[in-house]
Amino acid sequence: MTSYTEDMQGSRLLSGKFTLNHDVLDHVLSLLPRDDLLNAVLTSRDFHTWGVPYLVQYAGVDGWKFRTTARIQAFHSFMFVGAPRRFEWLHRLSLVLEPRLNLIALELLAQIIESANNLHSLELCVYDQVFEQSTRIRASLASRVGLEHLSIKVLEYSGVGTMGVLADLKLPLRSLEVNIRNYARADARNVFRWCAKTLETLSVQTTYFEHSDVVYPRLHTLRVHNPPSELSPVQLSDWARSFPCLTSLILPVNVLLSGRGFERVQSLRMGDVSGSGSQSLWHSLTYLESHVLCIHQAGLACQVDHLKLYAKKGEAKMVEAALRDIQPAHLDMTIHQYTYFQGYGRVHRGHEFSGIFAQALPRLWILELALLLSWVPEQIQFLMDDICTMLSPLRITTLTIHFREDTAHTFSRERFMDEDDNPFPEFLAILDKRASELAKRITACVTTLCEISVCCSSDSLDFHKWRVEGKELVQV
């Protein structure tokens, strides 16, 4: 068994062969993934003593596995009876408050929160009525003055007032994530106001986002999932004034509109919205991630170092305008629903984004494409030729291609799947062959590629990833 001694300088001697400083060992253990950390603590008693705190610290409590009273009681006994000091190591906690939990389980959860004196990150997935009625848990949260990160998701909002309860806690948070579809606007303003001076990262997924007239002097990252139909130049100007130190802005990336919202956005014409009024306000912004529709709707214009842009078929003109207004030094682009085929047996060669690629040539480094795949054999070769022709002028380093079956032109699903929807081995072999062939052809055309991923089915049955080493592809 490995033995160690500690010298006066706070170093550890392992096996009498080398000396390792405690701070270095702490840093190494903190970087290990959970599986590697588990292997390390099983190596010897010394590493077990040193590494177990990190297992507890980074594992936390998986709320979705502790949804019954019996499991919560078992975990409570393990933490208290087995080693009471384990709560001192607990830094991250994830809990689910469900209606099925009785008062005993809720009391145990509250005791866990109270005992975790070094807790700095808490994830709550709650049902509104349960959270509002759990006075002990609310009191436990209020006592955690060292809490820096709070993530809360309300699964079933009943209007009882979860947001109002959170506002009353008045915790000096540095990071806040809120996922609630509907709530009282007054409660929402109070929640964001209570930690405005300390907040550095804010993620809001709601029906609407209101921050009133509060200034967030330290906020550097803002993620807002408002529908794009609610964004406007006036709203973005207000954000610019409320977030003077903002460096990263993430707007909605999955735009799925219907009804009036879709009609409103579709009715916009290029040039209706001008971002020149807000350009001077976003002087500190360096990273922007958004669907092009949101940029167009809000009239955002600024200069950033890194732009991650999402678009789909029919939005090439918006992309062109966004690149002109944003002027990024580094560009990542994701294009979805990009159709190659228009009618059986005909290949659509009028790539609407080809001109965009040429315009963004010096700045485009990462590209992701979602394409329709026809299983008509005579069209497979045309598809590969078109992709290589489109990508050959680019100087990208990372490429990801996702194919979705064109149901109008594909063979029946029964030919490739059994009754349990499991793919036949010969079908997977076909997918593997086509993915590998396409990757080799693209690598030969785009000489700057360092990484390429190809998936030839919408079910992600054959997701392949290669690392480019010279002229060879090494599968990852």
Check residue 144 and give its pLDDT. Answer: 76
Tokens representing residue 147 in the block: 């809490």
Q: Is 431 inside a domain boundary?
A: yes
* Residue 358: φ, ψ to 5°: -65, -40
User: 155: part of which helix (H) or strand (E)?
Assistant: strand 149-156
Check residue 159 and give its pLDDT. Answer: 55
φ/ψ region of 243 (left if φ > 0, alpha if ψ in -120 to 50, else beta) reads beta
Concatenate the DSSP letters of all residues of 404-422 into one string.
Answer: EE-TTTSPPGGGTB-TTSP
CA 346, 351, 353 angle in degrees (round to 5)? 160
The residue segments making up the domain with residue 16 are 1-59
Tokens representing residue 13 in the block: 């001697």
Tokens representing residue 445 in the block: 């055309």
Q: Is 15 inside a domain boundary?
A: yes
Q: Is 210 inside a domain boundary?
A: no
CA–CA separation, 2 vs 105, rounded Å?
42
Q: Is 360 inside a domain boundary?
A: yes
Q: Is 364 inside a domain boundary?
A: yes
Q: Which of 233, 231, 238 is nearest to 214 (CA)?
A: 238
Q: Is 304 inside a domain boundary?
A: no
Alpha helices in 200-258 (DSSP H): 233-242
Q: Is 319 inside a domain boundary?
A: no
User: Could you tell me which residues come within 8 angstroms of residue 268 by beta carbon, excluding any fewer than 6 positions away?
Assistant: 296, 297
Check residue 419 and give its pLDDT. Answer: 63
Concatenate the DSSP letters of all residues of 316-358 into one string.
Answer: HHHHHHHHHHH--SEEEEEEEEE--BSSTT-B----TTHHHHH
- Model pTM? 0.71
Check residue 469 and give its pLDDT. Answer: 87
pLDDT tens readout for residues 317-364: 888 888 888 888 888 888 875 544 433 333 444 466 666 776 677 788
For 59-65, the CB contacts below 8 A with 24+ separation are 59/34, 60/90, 60/91, 60/92, 60/93, 60/94, 60/121, 61/93, 61/94, 61/95, 61/112, 62/94, 63/94, 63/95, 63/96, 63/123, 63/125, 64/96, 64/125
Whether the CB-CB separation of 309 and 292 falls below 8 Å is answered with yes
Q: Which residues of the chain have pLDDT under 50?
A: 1-18, 58-64, 160, 256-280, 339-350, 407-412
How many structural domains is the chain composed of? 2
CA–CA separation, 463 vs 457, rounded Å?
8
Check residue 257 and give its pLDDT. Answer: 38
pLDDT tens readout for residues 99-150: 766 777 777 778 778 877 778 888 877 776 677 667 777 778 777 777 888 8
Check residue 325 and give its pLDDT. Answer: 83
Q: What is the CA 140 to chain-centroid distance, rounded?
A: 29
**What b-and-e string marks burial along 385-418, b requiring 16 or more CB atoms within 10 Å of the CB?**
ebbeebbeebebbebbbbbbbbeebbeeeeebee
Check residue 447 and give its pLDDT. Answer: 87
Check residue 16 and give its pLDDT. Answer: 42
Check residue 330 and give its pLDDT. Answer: 87
Q: Is 352 inside a domain boundary?
A: yes
**Domain limit, last residue, from 27, 42, 59:** 59
**Domain limit, last residue, from 59, 84, 109:** 59
Check residue 218 and give its pLDDT. Answer: 92
Check residue 220 and give its pLDDT. Answer: 92
Q: What is the CA 167 to chain-centroid distance, rounded?
A: 26
CA–CA separation, 258 vs 205, rounded Å?
19
CA–CA separation, 175 vs 63, rounded Å?
20
